[in-house]
Structure formats: C-alpha cells, structure tokens
Amino acid sequence: MNTITAKVKTESGGKYVRQLCKHWSHKLETSVDGDRGTVTFPAAVATMDADGEGIAIAISGEDKSEVERLTDVVASHIDRFAFREAPLTYEWAWAQAAG
C-alpha cells in the first residue's frame, strides 16, 4: 500500500472537508463524521481530518502513480472551496511502509 500525506494550514478545514465530501458524494462513495471525511476513489482512498489549524490529508492506494495523481485532484478541489485564501500550501510526503 502506498500512502502520501500532507498537512494544510487553514482555520476553515472542517468546512472544506464537509464541502468536498458533499461535492464528491454525487459520483463517489464518501463519508463524513464531524470534521473528518473519507472519499473512496476507484484506485485509492483519501482521508481528511480537520482541526482548528488545518487539514491532515492521507491518500492510500496500491498504484503509486494513481495516488500521486490524486494529490493534484484533492488539492485543486480544496483550493476551489478555499478560494478566499487559495492557493493553500500542500507539502506532500510519502509515508514510510511499516516493516
């Protein structure tokens, strides 16, 4: 499993996570619990967990190139909802495999 993560600074993270999950719920499986949201793409799962300082994003999937491609998809959609403060800063980093 390949996982890439980022922490995005914004005080409105919970709002953006909820908006994003609602936006994608028309085409993809999504779930929202408070300020935590999950979006299941065909080849990966994106989990977003917001607090008062930002959004912790993790995208996981078997195909590393697809996971990497989704970083742009997720970031561009968050920036669309965060247009008043966009573009936000995303510092993506690959998670180390356990083992």
Pick out the chain residues at pLDDT < 50. 99
Task: Tell me if 47 is assigned to some domain.
Answer: yes
Instruction: Give the per-residue pLDDT at 99.
Output: 44
Task: Tell me if 81 is assigned to some domain.
Answer: yes
d(CA 98, CA 27): 32
d(CA 8, CA 29): 23
Task: Tell me if 99 is assigned to some domain.
Answer: no
Domain tally for the chain?
A: 1
Task: Tell me if 89 is assigned to some domain.
Answer: yes
User: Could you tell me the CATH number of the domain that includes residue 76?
Assistant: 3.30.310.50
Pair 16, 82: CB distance under 8 Å: yes
Segments forming the whole domain that contains residue 57:
2-93
Instruction: Give the per-residue pLDDT at 66.
Output: 96
Instruction: Give the per-residue pLDDT at 86.
Output: 81
Q: Tokens in use for 75?
A: 């970031």
Task: Tell me if 10 is assigned to some domain.
Answer: yes
- Strand ranges inside the chain, DSSP E: 2-9, 29-33, 36-40, 45-51, 54-61, 93-94
